[in-house]
């Protein structure tokens, strides 16, 4: 048995939670803020048998890895009232930090 703590961006957390449900993996969700990222993030706590650790890591990687995305900034207007053209820019989204911890006892009541 291992305990996996996974910190992902809020925007990826719903999709990841659905992956866990599909795979019958029990995950508990903590609302966290953090680190260098200003945006909110979500921490999952997952208890999992040793044989399925790599499967959990693969789901986290697939759903939450850092990637580039094009985003169109909101249109800005200058003092004359002219709106300047707004070009899509590339931003990085996603990213996951994951700890796999040893467990001495796992109990369910």
Burial state string for 7-43 with b = 16 or more CB within 10 A and e = fewer than 16? bbbeebbeebbebbeeeebebeeeeeeeeeeeeebbb
For 7, which DSSP code? E
Stretch 32-91 residues interacting with Ni ion (CB under 5 A): 67
Residues touching a copy of itself, count (CB under 8 A): 44
The interface partner of residue 79, options being a copy of itself, Ni ion, none and the CB cut-off 5 to 8 Å by kind, is: none
Please identify, using beta-carbon distances, which residue of 3 and 15 lies nearer to a copy of itself: 3
- Tell me how many residues contact Ni ion (CB under 5 A): 1
9 neighbors 64 (Cβ within 8 angstroms): yes
Residue found by looking up tokens 């305990």 in the block:
3
Tracing tokens 């291992």 back to the chain, one arrives at 2
Per rule CB under 8 A, is residue 18 in the interface with a copy of itself?
Answer: no
Closest CA to 8 of 47, 44, 59: 44
Residues 64-103 that bind a copy of itself (CB under 8 A): 64-66, 94-103
Residues that bind a copy of itself (CB under 8 A): 1-3, 5, 7, 21, 26-36, 41, 43, 45, 47, 53, 57, 60-61, 64-66, 94-109
Residues that bind Ni ion (CB under 5 A): 67
């Amino acid at each position: 048995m291992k305990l996996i703590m996974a910190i992902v961006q809020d925007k990826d957390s719903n999709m990841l939670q659905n992956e866990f449900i599909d795979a019958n993996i029990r995950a508990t969700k903590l609302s966290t803020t953090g680190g260098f990222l200003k945006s909110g993030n979500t921490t999952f706590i997952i208890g999992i048998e040793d044989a399925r650790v790599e499967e959990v890591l693969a789901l986290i990687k697939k759903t939450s890895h850092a990637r580039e995305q094009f985003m169109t900034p909101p249109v800005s207007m200058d003092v004359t009232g002219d709106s300047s053209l707004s070009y899509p820019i590339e931003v990085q989204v996603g990213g996951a930090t994951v700890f796999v911890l040893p467990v001495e006892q796992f109990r369910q009541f």
